[in-house]
Amino acid sequence: MSAFPIHTAPGYQFEVTPDLSRLETRERLSHSAIGGFFAIIEKWGLSMEQAGDLLGDRPRSSVYKLKSVPKTLGPDELTRISYLVGIYKSLHILLPDELADQWMTRPNDNPLFRGRPPLDYVLRGIPAMQQVRSLLDAARGGQ
């Protein structure tokens, strides 16, 4: 089985969490995750260095190689991309497309970001990505 068992609760539908410890699950998810990641990087206008930092400090040459020769990602990279996709989705629900695509790189007065761009904050790693995603999900009412 490629997912953890999910218990049901009346009136609430749980999403199945993929088991990223399984190679076949990572192989199944990696191709679309890589494509989505590079589409988001392009929309946000980020450099390959920044893309590598978002993937967990990958060197620029590895990011270029990943773009041209996709491979099976590790659990950490898939988790990072999942958070970035969630952030991207939330931004496009909350804001017009142009502003949504600029949000990560523009200074932000939310106390979490201290006047800096949210990108600077999410570069801290998975906990920061999760926090930004939660912030945006709360702003859109958990939709």
12 within domain boundaries: no
| Separation between Cα atoms, residue 117 and residue 115, nearest integer Å | 7
2 within domain boundaries: no
Instruction: Name the strand (E) or helix (H) holding 137.
Output: helix 126-139
17 within domain boundaries: no
* pLDDT of amino acid 44: 97
pTM (whole model) above 0.95: no
* pLDDT of amino acid 141: 80
59 within domain boundaries: yes
Q: Are 54 and 80 in contact (CB under 8 A)?
A: yes
| Separation between Cα atoms, residue 99 and residue 94, nearest integer Å | 10
* pLDDT of amino acid 17: 85
Which domain range does residue 36 map to? 23-139
46 within domain boundaries: yes
Q: How far apart are the first and last CA of the chain?
A: 29
3 within domain boundaries: no
- In the chain, how many domains are there? 1
Per-residue pLDDT of the chain (143 residues; tens, 9 = 90+): 445 555 566 666 666 788 999 999 999 999 999 999 999 999 999 999 999 999 999 999 999 999 999 899 999 999 999 999 999 999 999 999 999 999 999 999 999 999 999 999 999 999 999 999 999 999 988 55
Cα dist from 133 to 19, 44, 70, 120, whole Å: 21, 16, 26, 14
